[in-house]
Homo-oligomer: A and B are copies of this chain.
Amino acid sequence: MAEQMNEYFALASRPEGTPALEHFTVKKEELNMPEDGQLLVKTLYVSVDPYMRGRMKDAKSYAAPYAIGEPITGGSIGRVLHSRVDGFAEGDIVAGGWGWQRYGIIDGKSCRRIDPELAPITTALGVLGMTGLTAYFGTLRIGNPQPGETLVVSGAGGAVGMIVGQIGKIKGARVIGISGSDEKNRYLKEELGFDEVINYKTDQPLAEALERACPDGIDVYFDNVGGDITDAVIPLLNRNARIPLCGQISLYNQEKPELGPRILPMLLTRTVLLKGFLVGDYASEQEEGLRELGQWVREGRLQYRENIIDGFDNIPEAFIGLFSGENLGKQLVRVAED
């Protein structure tokens, strides 16, 4: 093992605007053996997620920016090659945060073991991982949709959005999804049971399309997108509406903040609750969330989609594709055969 090399992706430079391949570079380093309390893992799958764009900026945020030349961290799944942690053994499948690397040397406390018998291991990065938990906590702890209420989700065809809509249906809400593709929308409506779908690119003016789809106004707006789409939603909010603020993907690639309509007067007169959140804020409830999500998956009430691209070298391309809205559901990259 000791002579083996690791490869990882690092930022070559900080993207301005939309990230491109030139902003990423592969680095090689000698692969060390794990120390006491550590695992050496071989990466099987890595996750690419919109929030990672934020960490590519050198700006105040909830997480430190990625350093130039250092591994881009994020959700990964791997097989343990060598364990120096009690309770983990060679061959175990683990999920952790070592990111865009062929191998990871990770702390035993920073990962969790995945049982391949319970569900496909890739779900640990999606519906039964950070993605599912993000949808779960934002929808239930902030949005709290009630039977008969109207829930609108932007980015509805993305990994988080399609779970949000399904949880809304499980809770008895009327669910409207906004995405940028008729193909996604067909899937949301026909396969997942969304009540209405809107294509923000073609159903224009969006404000009117929303008004038709939401005759009783909007009680919960799960926002993944921001920008013009959110501008169209806010005037339709009902008194005491809730906004789980999860993402603003339409704005991530802007170097300078653009102007938009002032929203606070409307949030005031409708006495809206808005909460920015991170899945990590609910770490103490993670077990409960995974248990309930797992049950819904087993019962067939919660479906998921994964879009898997092959090959370590294609990680940056898969990431960049998130911003053109290509992915239906969770975007993953397979780095090595299972």
Contacts and interface: CB of A to CB of B under 8 A. Distances in A.
Contacts of A264: 223, 226, 230, 245, 248, 251, 263, 276
Interface string A264-301: 11011111111111100100000000000000000000
Contacts of A247: 268
10 shortest A-B CB distances, which residue pairs?
A268-B276, A259-B259, A61-B269, A271-B276, A274-B274, A260-B262, A248-B265, A267-B276, A273-B275, A245-B268
A323 to B, nearest CB: 15
Contacts of A263: 263-264
5 contacts: A226-B264, A248-B264, A260-B262, A263-B264, A271-B277
Contacts of A239: 62
A226 to B, nearest CB: 5
A2 to B, nearest CB: 41
B245 A251 contact: no
Interface residues of A, number: 36
Given A262-B258, A262-B259, A264-B245, A269 B62 contact: yes
Given A262-B257, A263-B263, A272 B276 contact: yes
B269 A276 contact: yes
A227 interface: yes
Given A248-B265, A257-B265, A259-B261, 14 more contacts: A54-B269, A60-B269, A61-B269, A62-B269, A62-B270, A223-B264, A226-B262, A227-B262, A230-B264, A245-B268, A247-B268, A259-B260, A260-B262, A274-B275
